[in-house]
Amino acid sequence: MPVSPSPALEPFLDLLRCPMCHAGLHPDQGALRCRVGHTYDIARHGYVSLLTGTRATSGDDADMARARDRFLATGRYERIRQTVARLAADAVSEGGTLLDVGCGTGYYLAGALDQLPGARGLGLDASVRALRMAIRSHARAAAVTWDVFRPFPLADGVVDVVLDVFAPRNPSEFHRVLRPGGRLIVVRPTARHLTELRSRVPGMVAVDPAKERRLRQALAPYFEIDCTQLVEYVTDLTREEAVDLVGMTPSARHLDQAALGDGRLLPGQVTVSVLATAYRARRAAARTPVGPGESRPRNGVSG
């Protein structure tokens, strides 16, 4: 039986573009199709897959997506979500459009939509496992499979706020899809983030000390800083929560799961420490390549 676009996806049909020819897309017998005939299946879960050719190399696998969903449901990162939601609400009217790049399970997008009753949200992510959860995260959240290092399958100037929370960055595309006066919100870890885990669990990916410098260099041609907030606190962890916190990052692929399972290496508390910055889009931006090191998978220690 053909799958129709989900109620959340339908409002985005005016924004989506065919990644092959850049024409508009329309629903047709369980798929989205452009006038040339390029066709993209709508999954029964409600998201649409626009990826073509070589598949993206990053993105949560099934175990990582489940671990992420369980950990975020504990509320341990709720303060980060509240900060993202406030920054988004300050930058967009209730009827605006949010784009969450590297959205994962949709946790941060759903939090922002809760603060904007008339807004709509679209998540991009390479992981179909995560997108199945993102679709269920909020009634006004739609999702598309996409490699965020490629040009986005969206028209120019159609988004009010771009969210980039612990995710890869594509500065030129952020700028292209934002409306004049649009805002970019970037959340990334400080050197203190999850330091207790990184000091006790061999193989955890460290925070690159040059990360802030590279971020500034990559975004400077396209954006100006509006404000930055430090979100830092210590939170308790059960053994199960600590296992999920490690398991939701790429670090999990390189760790001894048996050692994690007995809990001997895992701390009962961790420091959460992130910076959340809202950026204003520059009116004219130079088309420069993504900065060195910015084309990276989701940060292994941030979540």
Residue 65: alpha-carbon gap to chain centroid: 13
**Which residues are within 8 A (CB) of 83 and not within 5 positions of it... i.e. 6 or more apart?**
187, 229, 231, 276
DSSP bridge partners of 97: 120
3 state DSSP class of 51: coil
Contact between 191 and 275 under an 8 Å Cβ cutoff? The reply is no
Q: What is the pLDDT of residue 206?
A: 79
Residue 201, token pair as written in the block: 């669990």
**What's the domain range around 106?**
10-281
Report if residue 35 sits inside a domain: yes
Report if residue 293 sits inside a domain: no
Tell me the C-alpha distance between 142 and 136, whole Å: 9
Residue 86 host element (H or E): helix 78-91
3 state DSSP class of 181: strand
Report if residue 197 sits inside a domain: yes
Measured over all CA atoms, what is the biggest interatomic distance in the chain, rounded to whole angstroms?
59
Residues of the chain with pLDDT under 50: 1, 287-302
Report if residue 140 sits inside a domain: yes
Report if residue 264 sits inside a domain: yes
Single-letter amino acid code for the residue at 187: V
Contact between 112 and 84 under an 8 Å Cβ cutoff? The reply is yes
CA–CA–CA angle 20, 22, 23 (5° rounding): 110
Find where tokens 């999990």 sit.
252
What pTM, to 2 d.p., does this model score? 0.90
Single-letter amino acid code for the residue at 105: T
13 φ, ψ (degrees, to nearest 5): -65, -25
The torsion defined by the Cα of 24, 290, 106 and 298, in degrees rounded to 10, comes to 140
Q: What is the pLDDT of residue 296?
A: 41
* Total domains in the fold of the chain: 1
Report if residue 299 sits inside a domain: no
Residue 128, token pair as written in the block: 């179909």
User: Domain of 229: which CATH number?
Assistant: 3.40.50.150
Tell me the C-alpha distance between 83 and 111, whole Å: 10
Residue 124 host element (H or E): strand 120-125
Enumerate helices (H) and strands (E) in the chain, giving the number of each: 9, 11
Q: What is the pLDDT of residue 56?
A: 54
Report if residue 21 sits inside a domain: yes
Report if residue 94 sits inside a domain: yes
The torsion defined by the Cα of 285, 291, 295 and 299, in degrees rounded to 10, comes to -110
Q: At what angle do helices 107-114 and 128-137 cross, to 10 degrees?
A: 20
